[in-house]
Structure 1
């Protein structure tokens, strides 16, 4: 049994894994440590399990398509003084087998046994399938 837990999160406004990569690269230039991060209002209660090897799995257009290892959780406070959690990520994005995921708010925990497997690095440059075909294949477990 794995001793870690993952997160799953919608990547709102993202069109593809490549657009997620481009957006993160643009934002990384603004970070003092050059690491990508996602800031969320809620602090995960299962922090120790996440930091024991967890990743964030990104849902793009209704399909889990990639993941990033979670490096740490940083406290950040906005101008409003509210405490938030910055999920600091490894810059390397791993493409995964596609898995459909219904829309949800915030993030959810994802058990390692329920997480889609990483694709071989040789498939990272595969052409992107049309969205409807990608979703249909994910629905039947082909991708």
Structure 2
């Protein structure tokens, strides 16, 4: 632990939370023009990433993967469905459960989206090792904070 953290520094430059906040805002802002071309918001893009990987997921599974409550996820899914990218259906065997699947348009959008991670990776300017380390540390931080 560095000396500033040990002393309970109140300097902005010593706050990890601010470094995370500033980085998050910068990265999300860099996504905006790329996602506008796909007619997606950043949260909608995250939903689509899960569905491009899994094809189909329940609302509960999407919420777990994205760490979102269903009250936050439901409006995103409504907009994606209105845009013709997904289809929501209640399960026949459990009407409380809603399954989300890609439409043909949602599947086709995946091809256009391949440019997004490449552009973001280039903008970040990290080596593959730095990228892996950053992801590892952020996942560890998230797990530690959620555990306490």
TM-score, normalised to structure 1, is: 0.30
**Larger % of helix: which?**
2
If asked which structure has higher relative contact order (CA below 8 Å, sep 6+), I would say: 1
For the pair shown, which has the larger CA radius of gyration, 1 or 2?
2
TM-score normalised by the chain length of structure 2: 0.29
